[in-house]
Amino acid sequence: MSIIVSAIGQGLTWGVVGIGLFLTFRILDFPDMTVEGTFPMGAATCVAMIYRGFSPLVATIIAMLVGMIAGLVTGVLYTKGKIPVLLAGILVMTAAYSVNFRIMNRANLTLFNMPTLLKNHFLESLPPYFDSVVLGLVVVTIVTLLLIYFLQTHLGQAFIATGDNPTMARSLGISTDTMQIMGLSVSNGLIALGGGLVAQENGFADVNMGIGVIVVALASIIIGEVVFGDLTMNERLVAVTIGSVLYRFVILLVLQLGFNANDLNLLSAILLSIFMMIPAFEKRFRIRHTLSKGVDKP
């Protein structure tokens, strides 16, 4: 039972990361590689600030702001510097590795005997692993509700229009550069927030903890879309979190079957590939099924 509860807690926390990537990957249609740098940057910032005496809440908020700055840099490089978004993300991701060393003054830093968001009277009174479930549920709910509200505003609609058709958005007077910079900033801010939360759950931050993050976040998005099919924009935000939880259950099942934990990145990539191919296989099957029905008709 504790393993299942732990998987749910991890899924909810990583759901924040999935939602962050959803903003760029699905709405803006950007393959943003910055996430593999901003996730450990959020973790490093949060842990370093707690280590230096800041409150966990303040440290978590500042970690999010630092991630937004990294996303801002990627956005400026792409929109103003005319660097391809994929390369801009790789450049910032590479720079973030050195920045994370500077933040922590070492390759990793622990939170042993340090306060965290999980260490308060209410959460500590809960059964084992329920603290991460409650914290993850609160954070992902707040993030989802704020984004749902934002996407209904004129600014949010302009943001969506920029991702749908940048040329038409510009013809309507929308500053697509501003929308893209804003999207990259908010996206990476949420990913850094997720990094800060994961670091507090794990009790440490490491400069290498960003490896494979984009695959995990993509898995949350793809699994949610495959499982639930056609959804509205608001429903897709919720589906990302559910997909993140389902992904954790799939990984848990794989580990229970005896696979090595060191193969998680490989397994994640394979699972993501399978889920991404499902819609294509379904489409081919439906076409062939339709053709076969047409042939059978007298």
User: Is 0.85 surpassed by the pTM of this model?
Assistant: yes
- Both tokens of residue 54? 């800041």
- Predicted confidence (pLDDT) at residue 294 exceeds the cutoff of 60: no
- Both tokens of residue 56? 């966990």
Q: Count the domains in the chain.
A: 1
> Phi and psi at residue 110, in whole multiples of 5°?
-100, 165
DSSP string, 266-292: HHHHHHHHHHHHHHHHHHHHHHHHHHH
Half-sphere exposure of 260 (CA within 13 A, CB side): 3
Half-sphere exposure of 217 (CA within 13 A, CB side): 32
Average pLDDT over the chain reads 88
Would you state the pLDDT for residue 103? Answer: 92
Tell me how far apart the alpha carbons of residues 47 and 104 are, in angstroms, rounded to a whole number.
Answer: 8
Tell me how far apart the alpha carbons of residues 240 and 225 are, in angstroms, rounded to a whole number.
Answer: 8
Would you state the pLDDT for residue 100? Answer: 93
pLDDT, one tens digit per residue, over 109-161 is 999 889 999 988 888 888 888 899 999 999 999 999 999 999 999 999 999 99
Contacts of 247 (CB under 8 A, 6+ apart): 11, 14, 216, 219, 220, 223, 271
pLDDT, one tens digit per residue, over 146-200 is 999 999 999 999 999 999 899 999 998 999 999 999 999 999 999 999 999 999 9
- Both tokens of residue 238? 């919720």
Tell me how far apart the alpha carbons of residues 64 and 185 are, in angstroms, rounded to a whole number.
Answer: 10
Q: What is the CATH number of the domain that holds 37?
A: 1.10.3470
- Predicted confidence (pLDDT) at residue 286 exceeds the cutoff of 70: no
From residue 158, alpha-carbon distances to 31, 109, 293 in Å are 20, 41, 44
3-class state of residue 136 by DSSP: helix
Please give the residue range of the domain that contains residue 98. Answer: 2-296
- Both tokens of residue 118? 């999980």
Helix (H) or strand (E) holding 109: strand 108-110
Mean pLDDT of 233-261: 85
DSSP string, 146-210: HHHHHHHSHHHHHHHHHHH-HHHHHHTT--HHHHHHHHHHHHHHHHHHHHHHHHHHHTEEETTTT
